[in-house]
Amino acid sequence: MLTMGKAITRRRAVAVLTATLLATGMAACGNSDTGEQPADDGKLTLGFSQVGAESGWRTANTNSIKESATAAGIELKFDDAQGKQENQITAIRNFIQQKVDVIAFSPVVSSGWDTVLKEAKDAGIPVILTDRSVDSADKSLYKTFIGSDFVKEGRLSGEWLVNEMKAATGPVNIVELQGTTGSAPANDRKKGFGDAIAANPNLKIIASQTGEFTRAGGKAVMEQFLKANPKIDVLFAHNDDMGLGALEAITAAGKVPGKDIKIITIDAVKDGMQALADGKFNFIAECSPLLGPQLMDLVKKVKAGETIPQRIETEEGTFTPEQAKAALPNRKY
C-alpha cells in the first residue's frame, strides 16, 4: 500500500517521464537522422549528401547549396559524409526513409552506387548528381548530372604546360598531386593532363600520389617528392588546396615556387587565385563550386515532371597570373 507521500512522488516521476518522452519525440521530428517524415507544409524537401569539408572549393559549394535552398524556399536536409562512401549510402537511405521529394549528392568515389540508387528509384524518389558523377551503366538511376568536365580541366592544364615548355630540349620532370583515390576528378584530371602532355615526349611524370584534396595532404606528399627527387621542374596539383600545401614544402626546401618549380592547379578559389596573382602558382584551370542555384532549379523541374537534360556542364575558364589579378577583386569564393 502506498502512503500519501510515496503516491505524490510516484505521480511526479510519471509526469517527469511523460514530459521527457514528449520532448524526445518532438526533438526527433526535426532530426534528419531519425527517419522521421518531413512536416507537410507544402515545401519541397531536398536531401543532400555532401562529400565533406576537405577544401576551400567544398566549403564554397556547401555554402552555395545552403544559400540557394533558402532562397528557393526548398527545405534542405544536409548531411556531411566526412569523406566516407558508407556515410553517404547511410544518408541516402535515411532520405529515402524520410520520403524526401528529391535526393542530390556529390559522390566521394565513382563506383559502388548501383544498389542504393536502385533503392531510391524503387521508392520513386528522383536523384540528381552534382559535381561528381558515378560509373553506373544504368543511366536511368539518376535524372541528371550537373558539374564540371574534369577531363577538360586536366587537358587544359596539360596544354598550357606543353606550350610553356615548347622550347625545352631536355627532360621536364613533373610531379603530380592527385585528388582522392577513386574519385571522378582525380581519375579524369589525371587522364586529361596525361593525354595532353603526350604531345611532347620531354614532359615526364616522375612521381604521382594522392594528397586527398587537402592542404595537409599536399604538403606532406610534396615533402616526400622533394626528398626523393633532386630535380623537379613542375607540380601539377589536382586542386588549389594541395597546391597551397605544397607551396609550404617547396619554400621550406629552399626553392622558389612559380620559378624553380612551375605550379599548375585546378579550382581557382580565392586563396589559389591570390597565389597565382603573387606569381607562386603559374596557371589555374577553373572548377566552379557555385552549383546551388542551378540545382534548386532542377529540383523544382524534376518534381514538376519536366524533362531535363541528362548532363548539364558547368561553364568555366582558365587563369594566368595577370588574369587572376584582374579577377580577384570580384571573386565570390
Interacting residues toward ligand AHR by CB under 6 A = 54-55, 57-58, 131-132, 185, 213, 239, 241, 266-267, 287
Measure the CA–CA gap between 195 and 191, rounded to whole angstroms.
6
Closest contact distance (angstroms) between CB of 331 and ligand AHR is 15
Q: Which lies closer to ligand AHR via its Cβ, residue 58 or residue 262?
A: 58
Q: Which lies closer to ligand AHR via its Cβ, residue 218 or residue 321?
A: 218
With the C-alpha atoms ordered 330, 178, 295, 87, is the resulting torsion angle positive or negative? negative
Q: Which lies closer to ligand AHR via its Cβ, residue 38 or residue 185?
A: 185
DSSP string, 121-140: HHTT--EEEESS----S-GG
Q: List 284's β-bridge partners, or say none.
A: 265, 319
DSSP string, 11-61: HHHHHHHHHHHHHHHHHHHT-TTTTPPPP-SS--EEEEEE--S-SHHHHHH
Closest contact distance (angstroms) between CB of 227 and ligand AHR is 26
Closest contact distance (angstroms) between CB of 69 and ligand AHR is 20
Amino acid at 233: D
Closest contact distance (angstroms) between CB of 131 and ligand AHR is 5
Q: Which lies closer to ligand AHR via its Cβ, residue 32 or residue 281?
A: 281
Closest contact distance (angstroms) between CB of 184 and ligand AHR is 7
Q: Which lies closer to ligand AHR via its Cβ, residue 173 or residue 239?
A: 239
Closest contact distance (angstroms) between CB of 234 and ligand AHR is 19
Q: Which lies closer to ligand AHR via its Cβ, residue 159 or residue 286?
A: 286
Comparing CA positions, the residue from 99, 191, 194 lying closest to residue 149 is 191
Measure the CA–CA gap between 323 and 57, rounded to whole angstroms.
19
For the chain, the farthest-separated pair of C-alpha atoms sits apart, in whole angstroms, at 102
Measure the CA–CA gap between 49 and 106, rounded to whole angstroms.
7
Residue with cell 524503387: 122
